[in-house]
């Protein structure tokens, strides 16, 4: 494999999504074998103890690399978590030229186009054909599936779980600190940034921006929470956009074993790329699934609500663990601002 091909594969990898745009990936080549590792400096935060979010991002990155390499005529032999005593080593990938392959990999064309869109409202309707295409992509990764709340009752139950989780992110001081620490207010409201969340990508309405910015201070958040601010924010960030979008589905993984979470990231990416090819806008909501796994250390006052959230989510999508909701719909235009990426060299050895 030449240097150029290796760099192209890594570029596809880092175009993958990651929670809070943390990009928690490290790469190392040995010959034509590639090690994908979780970056110790960009993982393991409060919501990422047990690396659930990082493993999802690693899975998405891995899938992008496999898809792009396939379009270049390479097949991948993947070993996930090769050494149990090395918890940051997510995968070893052995690339080999695949002369049998016809190199047709339609999803490859969507890798650079895929992005998160937090705007609303979105129109259209998600046809059963579209749902079937997205389902098929999830199922290509063994054990993974999408759940679609169909009836008003199912949609209401899903919405309630998402809203409660998003509300908790503003109510719990620990989750609030984590959320706001990833927003790069220094970038201003009009520019992208290469790591973390640029305010410009958050779709906050101009009149609300000063208030939102003030909320990063724990004392302001605590004071406004006495007036119900967290509930309002849960409503505005989740309930309203989802109500005003035609589609909602949930990625369900078979178990919380790390290899299944990583496989969930691969499925998430395939679904998102297919949605991109279909012209759909996508916003993930991960708080409900991740918080209800019970791994996140929040204040004691939130532990009971969290376990209720876990049961409610289980009722929504059992069997399995619902991990990431996806809001879907057709936007009239592409968002002006998109999250950037760090320079490739900062992810480790290029050769």
Ligand X SMILES: Cc1cc2nc3c(=O)[nH]c(=O)nc-3n(C[C@H](O)[C@H](O)[C@H](O)COP(=O)(O)O)c2cc1C
**144 is a contact residue toward ligand X (CB under 6 A):** no
- Contact between 116 and ligand X by CB under 6 A: the answer reads yes
Per-position x/- string for 74-113, each x denoting binding to ligand X as judged by CB under 6 A, each - no binding: ----------------------------------------
For residue 73, what are its two tokens? 């005529």
Nearer to ligand X by Cβ, of 1 and 169: the residue is 169
Does residue 34 touch ligand X according to CB under 6 A?
A: no
Report angle CA 36, 18, 44 to the nearest 5 degrees: 70
Question: Would you say 147 and 249 are in contact if contact means Cβ atoms under 8 Å apart?
Answer: yes
Q: 3-state class of 69 per DSSP?
A: helix
Question: Could you say whether residue 342 binds ligand X (CB under 6 A)?
Answer: no
What's the CA gap between 262 and 36, in Å, rounded? 12
Scan residues 145-184 and list those touching ligand X (CB under 6 A): none
89: Cα within 13 Å, side-chain hemisphere: 14
Among 162, 179, 242, 286, binds ligand X (CB under 6 A): 286
Partners of 35 in beta bridges = 28, 92
Q: Is 233 in the site for ligand X (CB under 6 A)?
A: no
Under the binding rule (CB under 6 A), the answer on residue 17 touching ligand X is yes
Q: Please name which of 89, 28, 43, 98 lies closest in space to residue 70, comparing C-alpha atoms.
A: 98
Q: Does residue 21 bind ligand X (CB under 6 A)?
A: yes
Strand partners, 249: 326
What is the closest distance, in whole angstroms, from the C-beta atom of residue 163 to ligand X in the complex? Answer: 13
Q: Which is nearer to ligand X, 17 or 329 (by Cβ)?
A: 17
Handedness of CA 153, 154, 155, 160 (dihedral sign): positive
State yes or no: residue 322 binds ligand X (CB under 6 A): no
Give the binding site for ligand X (CB under 6 A).
17-21, 53, 56-57, 60, 115-116, 118, 197, 283-287, 324, 338-339
């Amino acid at each position: 494999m030449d240097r150029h091909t290796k760099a192209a594969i890594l570029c596809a990898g880092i175009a993958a999504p990651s929670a809070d745009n943390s990009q928690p990936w490290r790469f190392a080549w040995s010959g034509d074998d590639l090690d994908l590792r979780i970056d110790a400096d960009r993982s393991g935060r409060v919501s990422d103890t047990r690396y659930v979010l990082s493993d999802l991002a690693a899975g998405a990155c891995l899938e992008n690399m496999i898809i792009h390499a396939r379009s270049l005529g390479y097949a991948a032999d993947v070993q996930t978590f090769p050494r149990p005593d090395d918890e940051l080593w997510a995968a070893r990938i052995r690339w080999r030229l695949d002369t049998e392959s016809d190199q047709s990999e339609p999803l490859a064309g969507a890798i650079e186009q895929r992005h998160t869109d937090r705007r609303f409202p979105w129109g259209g309707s998600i046809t059963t054909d579209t749902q079937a295409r997205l389902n098929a992509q999830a199922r290509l990764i063994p054990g993974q599936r999408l759940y679609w709340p169909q009836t008003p009752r199912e949609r209401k139950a899903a919405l309630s779980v998402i809203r409660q989780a998003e509300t908790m992110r503003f109510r719990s001081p620990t989750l609030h600190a984590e959320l706001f620490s990833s927003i790069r207010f220094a970038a201003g409201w009009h520019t992208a940034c290469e790591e973390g969340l640029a305010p410009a990508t958050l779709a906050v309405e101009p009149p609300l921006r000063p208030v939102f910015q003030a909320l990063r201070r724990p004392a302001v958040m605590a004071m406004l929470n006495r007036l119900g601010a967290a509930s309002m924010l849960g409503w505005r960030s989740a309930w309203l956009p989802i109500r005003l979008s035609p589609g909602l589905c949930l990625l369900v993984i078979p178990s919380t074993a790390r290899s299944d979470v990583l496989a969930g990231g691969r499925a998430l990416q395939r679904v998102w790329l297919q949605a991109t090819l279909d012209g759909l806008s996508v916003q993930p909501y991960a708080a409900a699934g991740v918080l209800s796994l019970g791994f996140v250390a929040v204040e004691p006052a939130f532990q009971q609500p969290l376990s209720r959230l876990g049961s409610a989510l289980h009722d929504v999508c059992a069997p399995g663990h619902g991990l990431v909701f996806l809001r879907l719909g057709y936007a009239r235009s592409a968002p002006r601002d998109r999250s950037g990426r760090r320079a490739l060299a900062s992810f480790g050895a290029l050769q």
